[in-house]
Chains A and B, each alone.
Chain A
Amino acid sequence: MSPARWIRASYCVRGCEIATGVILAWAGLAKIGDLGSFAAQIHNFRILPVALENLAAMTLPWIEIVVALTLLLGMRSRDGARTALVLLVVFTLAVVAAVTRGLDIECGCFGTADASHVGWSKIAENVGLIAIAVIAALGPVAATERPSGVARLETGDVRS
């Protein structure tokens, strides 16, 4: 089995879905209890307009939780994985922006209990998560891509 086939094997995809789901659920749950601190952490990144920081603090953890649920329960998990991927990329860009501007701030990734600061190790960690999310987002090999004649029978989005 070539690597390209291997990462699209169903058990591998399922594993990545669960891993991404657990991480996001953890991240979301850690933040909903302490909105004020999370808003302050968002503020420290100095990326969003101040007027949007509270709204982001209020909604972002819940988006993470909804996405995590789709992944963990396997319902609409392809949509969930793609959203997770977008979230992770956005978060990573925020960390990169903070690091390149020389800001030494708390990541806020997992609420206040996690005091990790932004830095290259955090970026590396996120790149790893992105790789896992990419596998989940690609999903298992779909019928349309199987080298057999079955493809024409299932042209719908069999992946979701």
Chain B
Amino acid sequence: MSDPTFRATTVESASAGLRGMALLCLAGAALGIGYNALGLGGKDPWGLPWIGRDRLAQLAASAVVSGSTAPESAGVDPYTTDVSDPRAVLAGEAGGGLPEIAPREEPQQIVVAAVQQYVDAGAALLIDAREPQEYEAGHIPGAISLPYDQVATDRQRLEQLDTGGRPIVVYCGGGTCELSLSLAWDLVYAGQTRVAVYMGGYPDWVDAGLPVVTGAKP
């Protein structure tokens, strides 16, 4: 191995190897971008502009299914797989009793009217997935603060959560409300079965003219 010719060849072939690998990656990336740029993927959202699109905004926009909007008319977007069956939207029944949040192995969606019924009856554990300072600035009455960023690193908090046998309603800041979806899935993984996500979140609650509570207490 002390032969200089041999060593030079080895170094050369190593760099040739790196070049070859880079070439393959570039070829793959070019094919992928080309395939989607030409629209061969079939769906227009996956064109080039999609690369730079704000994924979180898109996620929230597609996941907000309000009232009785059927999923078919809302369009089927892959992101809604996070709440896999939008038909499970829990709408409040006018003058009726509490809509039932049935046990499921996945989060379900709930709309403002139903949230209001649960809040009035104190029949659900409301969880605010936003940052503590946002919670203190204003939250839905009775909601406890469970910032997703803290929960993600401390799963014991989820496992030790005392719901008092009530279903859970998670909400966050609406709009790009990804925190509540993530938290809802974590709750399901932690063994909770009656977990609802209020996609509209706090802004929707305020828009509806419903009461809020400020400060660090529920």
List chain A positions with a Cβ less than 8 A from chain B.
32-37, 39-40, 43, 50-51, 53-55, 58-67, 70, 76, 78-80, 82-83, 86, 101-104, 112, 144, 155-157, 159-160
Contact = CB atoms under 8 A, between A and B. Distances in A.
Contact of A83 (B24, B31, B77, B81): B24
Contact of B78 (A32, A36, A61, A83): A36
Interface of B is mostly: helix
Point out which of B25, B28, B43 has the most chain A C-beta atoms below 10 A from its C-beta.
B28
Given A36-B79, A43-B55, A63-B25, A156 B20 contact: no
Contacts of B43: 35
B55 A76 contact: no
Given A79-B21, A83-B21, A104-B189, A62 B28 contact: yes
Contact of A67 (B28, B36, B77): B28
Contact of A51 (B6, B23, B52): B52
Interface of B: 5-6, 9, 12-13, 16-17, 20-21, 23-25, 27-29, 31-33, 35-36, 41, 43, 45-46, 50-56, 59, 77-79, 81-82, 152-153, 155, 186, 189
A40 B21 contact: no
Nearest to B178: A43
16 contacts: A37-B81, A53-B55, A54-B50, A55-B51, A58-B32, A58-B51, A62-B35, A63-B25, A66-B28, A66-B31, A67-B28, A76-B20, A86-B21, A103-B152, A104-B189, A144-B9
A101 B153 contact: yes
Contacts of B17: 78-79, 82, 160
Contacts, number: 110
A149 B42 CA distance: 57
A61 B35 CA distance: 11
A54 B48 CA distance: 10
Contacts of A54: 50-53, 55
B33 A58 contact: yes
Contacts of A36: 45-46, 77-79
Contacts of B12: 157
B24 A70 contact: yes
A62 B32 contact: yes
Contacts of B41: 32-33, 35
